[in-house]
Chain A
């Protein structure tokens, strides 16, 4: 028969051990843990084993005290263990030179122009624009005629065009049979049913992404909201500021009731999202055959903040994109009723934006595939001493 007073005394004795625990060394702590809290022969376990011999009311009170003490002891042991572990790490570290480089893995990365394209597309995604694409080889009709470029007009001088050496003129049925064994992309499929291609003039490499406006409008009735990133071609000598091939992003919104105010609002919103909330935006009149009114959008120069610097030729503004209300003739060319529908379109060059944003002085760097260049824009952990 256990005696509750005796058990209380043993508990009190155990409680004094609490004072010692914070100064025990690792070995002492381990021994103390076994001695006090061990599951088979620990002092507390021994006490708990005797509890059933007590009268029920005493069993409850002594049991309660024993469990409280158990918790306190356990907490003290855990705390001391943590302290010791920390000290051990510090001690081990004394022999290490922590400035030595860490062990790296190969990092990869997307091209800086891709980064810019994806950011732009993501912003327009948020504004309800879907991503569309189109072919790089085009006909004169899609690249110029449908976009309201008058034949023999000086506006063509702004588009130095690379033409393709393709003898043509088959019927559409024949063309339909001649399908690529590889991937038939969206546009290829669409195109197979396009009977008008016969009268569309010479083949060329598109000089802008605007022909995709035509393809999208031919394919889908309004409402249409799309962004179209893609490669475009110009007969330009490859030098520090010109490349024969470069990226462009086109945008198109056509519906009932779309106005110049929507154009301004959408593109201003884009500019603030892309260049920062404090960016100022201005719109200037411009000329594109396929839009009317046409506009050029400038944003305040990110280098000088609008005060004027060499980067912005002292104007405080950077020209970012061309835009305008879709010309009624263009809508009509696509079978869209220009009396009922209006819309806006825009286009910009992510390559040029990337050059500006990252301070890249020569456009050719974008096309060389120099690993040291690409690594600057990828995932990297510098292996330097630090």
Chain B
């Protein structure tokens, strides 16, 4: 909503400072996004009286003027305007003044004659395009008077962000009402220059669906969509341009001036938040103008020149023959006011907010009118709007009010709400005197009746506040007018809740911190992408087909991140992400959401260091395996990592809950292979940590270099070793994996290191020897393995 400071000044009858207004409104709940000064830079221009005009000695088309600018010195000014006349007043800029165009005036000689300042044209002042001559001021103001006092064109446009619950703030009167309380001034409408005091007509109220107004049938056949319909007929108007004050005011509010009558309807909308429409009476068939539902297949060319298909759920305004407007949204070109119009029908009606919204969405046609009807205009305020419109039309376009009617088939009274005085303190935490509450409620337009018998206030809510529907809404008004900053800010005792932390969220934190400590960086990606495969969950209204599905796996997002890094010449990448994946349920309904952890790794195993000539190995499958195992231990502690199908998987019982593999991404020549993993995050089954007694006895170790056939795995061999070695065996580690021609292509030599230790005494050499020989026997028998001899 664009608000003119001057318009507000007109309502409050006092000067305002735009910045201060914005600050006050902010504390009342209306944010000001910007303050745009209109016609700035005129503060130093004054009224100058040209006392004499003489020809320029050296130039035919220039004159030398003597200007009185209120100071004792007379100014010599060289002027080229043909219309400069002795005895007239003009805007005068002294030496040193900077004009809106950015020119700073200097004392200088023009063709040999000294010139001290400038008599200005409208264009030079940024007030218009005319450059025919200097701007003659019809004013009694003394020379030296600031121009802005004579020509009040400067203004500030406040761009306000009005919340959808406050339609009243879409009109200047509503904004002024908010301010009036703080300034302690009464709220009035600005005076209209030349407005008649009488002859504005009185709306005849009828409680039927239809009525006649000056021979025109008006009314509503659709009281649900259009509850109240008022019409005023004004004859003998003269369509023409608006007076400057009107077009300036509209322009300040960001609306272009069109013609006096159209400008009046816009003015009333911007002042009172009542969209209205002016019809050319001569163009109405019937003549009639009635709100009704659209017929199936009915079409209408709206004012924007588009032919629109209507549906029976929409309310239209129609004459005898056709629709002439979409109710609450937009009029049609066929009854528009033109230069030839002399007789008008002014319509001001109330359209249902939700229905207007549905129609606006169906037609994809958002207008200033639909914006207001959707939010709710004042059902009880239509007569005031009509009266204001008549006043303005008579003042700017002439004519006479012939008749006026108010069709309201089912009149209702503004809602009444009971406010329990005690409830206010229960919600706000601070006791306020009843008189104080009453004052605040009256300030926003409520009528308050005391009910001392049960400590309640009966509050009649103004029609312009459709958001005030229950007691709590009144409590908010009291808090708002009291000022949120005037409530205390002290911590008072409270009870803690019954709920503990979500187990899953705690687990997420633990996994995240664990992976970060292992040298990984957390990434966050957009969980939308192309079709992920069967079971995918699709968006109904995606932004693009590339983002039309919810992700089923986290890894693809990280693969994209790897490619992004490569495109920026980043080679060493270690990323993980914890996020939700989605899977559609076979029979519809809630999609399954599962938290997953994924990681990618590629590039150097450690940061390069000069001590090794900056040579570092790249990460390989074994880095992946360790990372995966660490991630599984953190994220799904009850799961096991297993070798499966040439890679690693994690299983929780039978369920496959994760996998790790080399990814198919093709690295650029300078980059390294990429590995990745993904698994479910499930904190269940995490074994509690228990202390293991530290050994107190010295241990022993032996290396066994075993020649194994290729089918025999290290894990299997270790199991055999463990079983055969007996209770003294503490651990088995792999030291090396050696292959050579000597061993043959079907064999390898794997060196195992066995660590042995007695629980309560030093292990003896003979015991170690016995254990080793048991192991050798077992591996030979079970695995056809023997000690490597060469």
A binding-site residues for B, Cβ under 8 Å: 100-101, 103-111, 113-114, 118, 128-133, 135-137, 150-155, 157-158, 162-170, 174-175, 178, 180-183, 185-186, 188, 191, 197, 202-203, 205, 216, 219-226, 229, 231, 235-238, 243-245, 253, 255, 257-262, 264-266, 268-269, 281-287, 292-295, 325, 327-328, 342, 366-372, 374-375, 378-379, 383
A260 and B429 in contact (CB under 8 A), knowing A101-B610, A128-B496, A131-B502? yes
22 contacts between A and B (CB under 8 A): A100-B610, A109-B521, A110-B516, A111-B523, A114-B512, A132-B502, A136-B593, A178-B587, A183-B595, A202-B540, A235-B543, A255-B495, A259-B428, A260-B428, A261-B488, A284-B26, A284-B484, A367-B526, A369-B565, A371-B565, A371-B575, A372-B570
Interface check B561, CB cutoff 8 A: yes
Please report whether the interface of chain B is mostly helix, strand, loop or mixed according to DSSP.
mixed
Do A101 and B609 touch across chains, with their CB atoms under 8 A apart? yes
Of A133, A220, A287, A328, the residue contacting B166 (CB under 8 A) is: A287
Bound-state CA distance A294–B580 (Å) is: 31
> Smallest distance from the beta carbon of B656 to chain A beta carbons, Å?
10
Residues from chain B with a CB closer than 8 A to the CB of A342 are 426-427
A to B contact number (C-beta, < 8 Å) = 330
Interface check B498, CB cutoff 8 A: yes
Do B490 and A265 touch across chains, with their CB atoms under 8 A apart? yes
Residues from chain A with a CB closer than 8 A to the CB of B701 are none
Interface check B625, CB cutoff 8 A: no
Do B522 and A237 touch across chains, with their CB atoms under 8 A apart? no
Residues from chain B with a CB closer than 8 A to the CB of A295 are 484
5 more A-B residue pairs beyond the given contacts A164-B537, A369-B575, with a C-beta to C-beta distance below 8 A? A167-B588, A185-B594, A205-B539, A260-B430, A281-B489
Of A104, A133, A135, A151, the residue contacting B590 (CB under 8 A) is: A135
Do B539 and A105 touch across chains, with their CB atoms under 8 A apart? no
Of A182, A188, A281, the residue contacting B657 (CB under 8 A) is: A182
Interface size on B, residues (CB 8 A): 118
Interface check B347, CB cutoff 8 A: no
Residues from chain A with a CB closer than 8 A to the CB of B358 are 152
Do A283 and B524 touch across chains, with their CB atoms under 8 A apart? no
Query: Digit string of B401-441 for contact with A (CB within 8 Å is 1, else 0)?
Result: 00000000000000000000000011111100000000000
Do A158 and B164 touch across chains, with their CB atoms under 8 A apart? yes
Do A374 and B523 touch across chains, with their CB atoms under 8 A apart? yes
Query: Digit string of B155-194 for contact with A (CB within 8 Å is 1, else 0)?
Result: 0000000011110000000000000000000000000000
Of B355, B427, B522, the residue contacting A374 (CB under 8 A) is: B522
Closest residue of chain A to B164 (Cβ to Cβ) is A154
Query: Digit string of B576-613 for contact with A (CB within 8 Å is 1, else 0)?
Result: 01011011111111111111000000000111011100
**Stretch from B242-250, B473-481, B719-727 at the A interface:** B473-481
Do A104 and B428 touch across chains, with their CB atoms under 8 A apart? no
Do B680 and A183 touch across chains, with their CB atoms under 8 A apart? yes
Residues from chain A with a CB closer than 8 A to the CB of B354 are 150-153
Do A128 and B27 touch across chains, with their CB atoms under 8 A apart? no
Residues 348 to 379 of chain B near chain A (Cβ within 8 Å): 353-355, 357-358, 374-375
Interface check B547, CB cutoff 8 A: yes
A103 and B568 in contact (CB under 8 A), knowing A131-B502, A152-B358, A175-B590? no
Bound-state CA distance A245–B557 (Å) is: 14
Do A283 and B525 touch across chains, with their CB atoms under 8 A apart? no
> Smallest distance from the beta carbon of A168 to chain B beta carbons, Å?
4
Do B584 and A166 touch across chains, with their CB atoms under 8 A apart? yes
Do A137 and B499 touch across chains, with their CB atoms under 8 A apart? no
Do A224 and B497 touch across chains, with their CB atoms under 8 A apart? yes
Interface check B20, CB cutoff 8 A: no
Residues from chain A with a CB closer than 8 A to the CB of B491 are 262, 265-266, 269
Residues from chain A with a CB closer than 8 A to the CB of B498 are 220-221, 223-224
Do B164 and A155 touch across chains, with their CB atoms under 8 A apart? yes
Query: Digit string of B94-138 for contact with A (CB within 8 Å is 1, else 0)?
Result: 000000000000000000000000000000000000000000000
A197 and B590 in contact (CB under 8 A), knowing A284-B29, A368-B564, A378-B521? yes
Interface check B761, CB cutoff 8 A: no
Residues from chain B with a CB closer than 8 A to the CB of A178 are 585-587, 589
Bound-state CA distance A293–B354 (Å) is: 24
**Stretch from B145-153, B277-285, B391-399, B503-511 at the A interface:** B503-511
Residues from chain B with a CB closer than 8 A to the CB of A222 are 497
Residues from chain B with a CB closer than 8 A to the CB of A109 are 516, 521-522
> Smallest distance from the beta carbon of A209 to chain B beta carbons, Å?
13
Residues from chain A with a CB closer than 8 A to the CB of B517 are 108
Bound-state CA distance A110–B523 (Å) is: 8
Do B585 and A186 touch across chains, with their CB atoms under 8 A apart? no
A255 and B494 in contact (CB under 8 A), knowing A110-B522, A183-B504, A185-B504? yes
Bound-state CA distance A265–B560 (Å) is: 45
Interface check B572, CB cutoff 8 A: yes
Do B29 and A287 touch across chains, with their CB atoms under 8 A apart? yes
Do A245 and B526 touch across chains, with their CB atoms under 8 A apart? yes
Do A378 and B428 touch across chains, with their CB atoms under 8 A apart? no
Interface check B90, CB cutoff 8 A: no
Do A258 and B430 touch across chains, with their CB atoms under 8 A apart? no
Residues from chain A with a CB closer than 8 A to the CB of B525 are 367, 369
B binding-site residues for A, Cβ under 8 Å: 26-29, 31, 163-166, 353-355, 357-358, 374-375, 425-430, 470, 472-473, 475-476, 479-480, 484-485, 487-492, 494-506, 509, 512-513, 515-528, 537-543, 547, 550, 557-558, 560-562, 564-565, 568, 570, 572-575, 577, 579-580, 582-595, 605-607, 609-611, 655, 657, 680-682, 684
Closest residue of chain A to B423 (Cβ to Cβ) is A339
Do B487 and A130 touch across chains, with their CB atoms under 8 A apart? no
Per CB-CB distance, the 9 closest pairs between chain A and chain B, nearest first, are A259-B429, A369-B561, A285-B29, A261-B429, A287-B163, A152-B354, A106-B519, A369-B523, A293-B476
Of A101, A260, A269, the residue contacting B427 (CB under 8 A) is: A260
> Smallest distance from the beta carbon of A113 to chain B beta carbons, Å?
7
Do A383 and B607 touch across chains, with their CB atoms under 8 A apart? yes
Bound-state CA distance A118–B509 (Å) is: 9
Bound-state CA distance A164–B548 (Å) is: 10
> Smallest distance from the beta carbon of B482 to chain A beta carbons, Å?
10
Do B588 and A370 touch across chains, with their CB atoms under 8 A apart? no
Residues from chain A with a CB closer than 8 A to the CB of B582 are 136-137
Quick one: which of B165, B473, B484, B610 has the most chain A CB within 10 A? B484
Of B426, B513, B541, B606, the residue contacting A163 (CB under 8 A) is: B541
Do B499 and A294 touch across chains, with their CB atoms under 8 A apart? no
Do B561 and A244 touch across chains, with their CB atoms under 8 A apart? no
Residues from chain B with a CB closer than 8 A to the CB of A129 are 497
Closest residue of chain A to B525 (Cβ to Cβ) is A367
Bound-state CA distance A224–B496 (Å) is: 7
Residues from chain B with a CB closer than 8 A to the CB of A155 are 164-165
Residues from chain B with a CB closer than 8 A to the CB of A238 are 526, 543
Bound-state CA distance A258–B649 (Å) is: 51
> Smallest distance from the beta carbon of B655 to chain A beta carbons, Å?
6
Quick one: which of B490, B523, B680, B681 has the most chain A CB within 10 A? B523
Residues from chain A with a CB closer than 8 A to the CB of B561 are 368-370
Quick one: which of B358, B472, B579, B606 has the most chain A CB within 10 A? B472
Do A104 and B607 touch across chains, with their CB atoms under 8 A apart? yes
Residues from chain B with a CB closer than 8 A to the CB of A328 are 470, 472
Quick one: which of A101, A158, A170, A293 has the most chain B CB within 10 A? A293
Residues from chain B with a CB closer than 8 A to the CB of A219 are 499
Of A128, A166, A283, the residue contacting B485 (CB under 8 A) is: A283
Closest residue of chain B to A236 (Cβ to Cβ) is B543
> Smallest distance from the beta carbon of B597 to chain A beta carbons, Å?
11
Bound-state CA distance A294–B475 (Å) is: 11
Do B484 and A245 touch across chains, with their CB atoms under 8 A apart? no
Do A114 and B522 touch across chains, with their CB atoms under 8 A apart? yes
> Smallest distance from the beta carbon of A47 to chain B beta carbons, Å?
39
Of B374, B520, B594, the residue contacting A180 (CB under 8 A) is: B594
Do A108 and B502 touch across chains, with their CB atoms under 8 A apart? no
Do A137 and B489 touch across chains, with their CB atoms under 8 A apart? no
> Smallest distance from the beta carbon of A294 to chain B beta carbons, Å?
7
Do A168 and B519 touch across chains, with their CB atoms under 8 A apart? no
Residues from chain A with a CB closer than 8 A to the CB of B503 are 186
